[in-house]
Structure 1
Amino acid sequence: MKGKERKVEVADELNLIKTNEVLPITVPTPFAVGPVNCFVIRGEALTLVDTGPRTPEAKEALVTQLQNYNLTLEDIDQVVLTHHHPDHIGFVGMLMDQGKRVLGHWKNDRWLQMSDSFLKEHETFMTSIYREAGVSEQYYNHVQDTRGYLAFTDRAKCDVHLAEGDEIPGCPGWFVMETPGHAQSHISLLHEQSRTLIAGDHLIKKISSNPLLEPPYIKGTERPKPLLQQRHSYQKTLDAHLSYVYTGHGEPILNPDELIKERFLKQEERSDKVASFLKNEQLTAFQVCQKLFPGIYKKQVGLTMSETIGHLDYLESENMVNKMKSEEKMLYTYRT
């Protein structure tokens, strides 16, 4: 029976691709995450969802796979961005120069424009996060890592801003679902009739996308809490009762509800582990990070600190921890 069930799944998968006119394209990246998935929606406007990074290898793959669909870059009418990370936006500048319309959330703008003032603001914000978290100064230079990642994209802008519930222009039946967490700018594209989602990095089958720290978009306001946002986005996706999810990396998801429930459980298990560290001693966020990701934090301090602070945010929201400022550092303890 399992073989027959799989044949039905494959048939359903192909039917969804045909019915919704979604054409998958996979291009290489220079990043540890591996290849990235882009998509063409054959709507009233031929729409490219994400572009891959700006590398010769990615461009060759993009052009070749478009040709496999009897398409060229010149045929593309518009580009929709799921979020602002370089593996998804690398060719936006080139396509914009070719006259393509660019659509995305307004929170993409500062990343697309890449002004020196914003990059300095981002580095100042991350330095303050590291200082409060008690990160050793030898890791402070990693606040500039973002500049290296942005080298794989060009300056650009969004011509049209998309928000929750908007129908994608030129793509009847496709609507915007705001899904922040992995990125503040993150949106997913929902085809309501078939309950199909183009999820970007919001939901990936084999890995859980990191909730990443970013500066607030309005100066002087509280920083975003990405893990809490990610959990809210997961719940919104669960409530949509999806049948099929195209992802930004790896294969599509045929059982999204089951996967989201698994994500919730694993996040809560990791938060419980963090809480266990705090039951016997006061710790800074960096000390928690060292216990949670021994060895890894030295190579990926930005990712591991974002994840650690996310779990501390969650525990604080559940009234499971206390925090107090000691000089420049924030100390956490378990609330009994």
Structure 2
Amino acid sequence: MKIAENVFGYRTAIANIAYIAGLGPKKEDWVLIDTGIPYSASFILKNTKQLFNEKKPLAIILTHAHFDHIGALQTLVNKWNVPVYIHEKEIPYLESKKKYPKPTPLKEKGIMSFLSPFYPRDGIDFHSKIKPISREDSLPFLTDWKWIHTPGHTEGHISLFREKDRLLLAGDALITVKQESLFAVLTQKKEIHGPPAYFTPDVETSFTSIEKLHALEPQILYTGHGGPMYGEDIRKGISQLLYQHTYENVLKGE
């Protein structure tokens, strides 16, 4: 689906990917954001062919290295032979040198939460063509965009923001569906939520990241889970999420 000018989205079962097009001197280049769930490579390749014919991307950018965002990575890199950009703090997880923390299925109840102990939390032993995102100029081909470090869900999670239309690609820093609920995932009911609770070890840091994104005043929002949102619904949704979190902390005496 078209999200905004030169930005398209595609859902691989439970996780979204995004395409940023219109890049380069001739505005013919593009990049892929995340690579979906395992075994989604054939669907992604079919979709990219429809969008861009046989033109391969300049690069793949990963918001983080959870299994549902790197599922097709190895196959796509083998096919395209392009660099992979990821925050330097995520590289050990991508390379299987570190494992993500164990899930917490009871933090937020729901069938997707209860299934989380069965989700992979190690990397894919991926080592080829990794480019660390660590400096402001780490993504030189995205001249109209800036990347933002949004940790909490993972150590090196990043989001992307385009100032001209205030478009935010938030990854899992915040999402637009209640990912813990199978019913919500199936119906794709649009609601702004924090990152999936079962895979978010540092909740307080994640809400600091959400506050950072809220300050950008996004007008278009596309996330790693859920459909796109626009305009005032975004501000209201994030404001309500932050208020609820503060209220819960007060009740707990924090």
Q: What TM-score does the superposition give when structure 1 sets the normalisation length? A: 0.58
Q: 1:61 aligns with which of 30, 43, 57?
A: 43
**Partners of 1:230 and 1:78 in 2: how far apart?**
27
Q: 1:154 aligns with which of 124, 132, 138?
A: 124
The amino acid of 2:160's aligned partner reads: L
Give unmatched runs, 5+ long, in structure 1: 1-12, 29-34, 130-141, 215-225, 276-314, 321-336
The 5 Å alignment of 1:25-36 reads: 25-28=10-13, 35-36=14-15
The amino acid of 1:210's aligned partner reads: P
The 5 Å alignment of 1:253-332 reads: 253-254=229-230, 255-273=233-251, 275=252, 320=254
- Please report how far the alpha carbon of residue 110 of structure 1 lies from its aligned counterpart in structure 2 after TM superposition: 1.1
User: Contact 2:41 / 2:76 at 8 angstroms: preserved in 1?
Assistant: no
- 2:150 — aligned with what? 179
Deviations 1:168-193 (A, max 9, x none): 22222111111111111210011112
- 2:33 — aligned with what? 49
Over the aligned positions, Cα root-mean-square deviation in angstroms equals 3.0
Matched, 1:37 2:16: yes
Q: Which has a greater percent of helix?
A: 1
The 5 Å alignment of 1:6-155 reads: 17-18=4-5, 21-28=6-13, 35-42=14-21, 43-44=23-24, 45-55=29-39, 58-72=40-54, 75-98=56-79, 99-115=81-97, 118-119=98-99, 145=117, 149-150=120-121, 154-155=124-125
- Please report how far the alpha carbon of residue 272 of structure 1 lies from its aligned counterpart in structure 2 after TM superposition: 4.5
Corresponding residue pairs, total: 219
Deviations 1:277-302 (A, max 9, x none): xxxxxxxxxxxxxxxxxxxxxxxxxx
Q: What TM-score does the superposition give when structure 2 sets the normalisation length? A: 0.75
User: Contact 1:164 / 1:177 at 8 angstroms: preserved in 2?
Assistant: no
**Which runs of 4 or more aligned residues in structure 1 lie more than 6 Å from their structure 2 counterparts after TM superposition?**
none
Q: Structure 1's 204 and 85: CA in aligned 2 closer, same or farther, altered over 3 A?
A: same
| Larger Rg over CA atoms | 1
Q: In structure 2, the residue corresponding to 1:114 is in which secondary structure? A: coil
Seq. identity, %: 22
